[in-house]
Structure 1
Amino acid sequence: MEKAFEEMKQRGKNDVDSLLQWMKDSKVIENTKEAEKKARLLFEDAVNKNNVELEKFKQALEKIATQQKKSVEDLAKTLAAESERMLHKLSAGVSAGVEAFTKEFKK
């Protein structure tokens, strides 16, 4: 999971919204407004919500694990399993953006 987090950070996707989406896609949290609101509160004291540090993410994950009566390791494994798909989605989005920009630039 740490490796996936670092890859997301390198791509500038370690903001609260992206991290919450990763947790929802991984089914670590439910895909409901209530679950997202609860999880978002865990990042309330983050120094920079657009650049969340790994330690803050781990703290949030620990609290979620406690609330769900699951182990942090299980949640981390779940996130790691989903990370490949999440990173692929990010790459596809970047590729589409570059392609659209290139087409527009050639006009």
Structure 2
Amino acid sequence: MDSMDDIFKNLEKQGKTDVENLVQWMKDSKLIDTSKEQESKARKMFRDVQDVQRVELQKFKEIIEKLAAEQKKTVDQLTKQLAAEGPKFVNAAMAGINAFTDALKGK
């Protein structure tokens, strides 16, 4: 299984490390529930990132550390959850890109 870092770097290559995608990955991985309140709280954790379209791995790790502390879990537990969900998330992101590209080509 890829590590969370590997999956993040893969998303980075695809230009998918924006706040929107990272919050979705956190929801898909069950780090946060799908309630508006939890989603809003997660988004606030990203408020001091330099570029909301391109979050850096180190910043994402800091957010995961804060989340772990709030949930009284270890960082390792949360990164394993992210890593487990990561391949599905990356595949979904790629499917979205491919569908968009096909639509542009008029397929």
The TM-score normalised by the length of structure 2 is 0.93
Paired residues for 1:90-105 under 5 Å: 90-103=93-106
CA distance in 2, matches of 1:58, 1:101: 35
CA distance in 1, matches of 2:51, 2:94: 24
Equivalent position of 1:25 in the other structure: 28
Taking only the aligned residue pairs, the percentage that are identical comes to 44
Equivalent position of 1:48 in the other structure: 51
CA distance in 1, matches of 2:97, 2:69: 35
**Alpha-carbon offset, residue 103 of structure 1:** 2.1
Q: What are the ranges of 5 or more consecutive residues in structure 1 without an aligned counterpart? A: none
Pairs aligned (count): 104
Equivalent position of 1:67 in the other structure: 70
Q: Over the residues paired in the alignment, what is the CA RMSD in angstroms?
A: 1.0
> Greater relative contact order (Cα 8 A, min sep 6): structure 1 or 2?
2
**Alpha-carbon offset, residue 72 of structure 1:** 0.4
- Give every structure 1 segment of 4 or more consecutive aligned residues whose post-TM-superposition deviation is greater than 3 Å: none
Please say which structure displays the higher CA radius of gyration: 1
Which residue type is aligned with residue 63 of structure 1? K
CA distance in 1, matches of 2:47, 2:102: 36
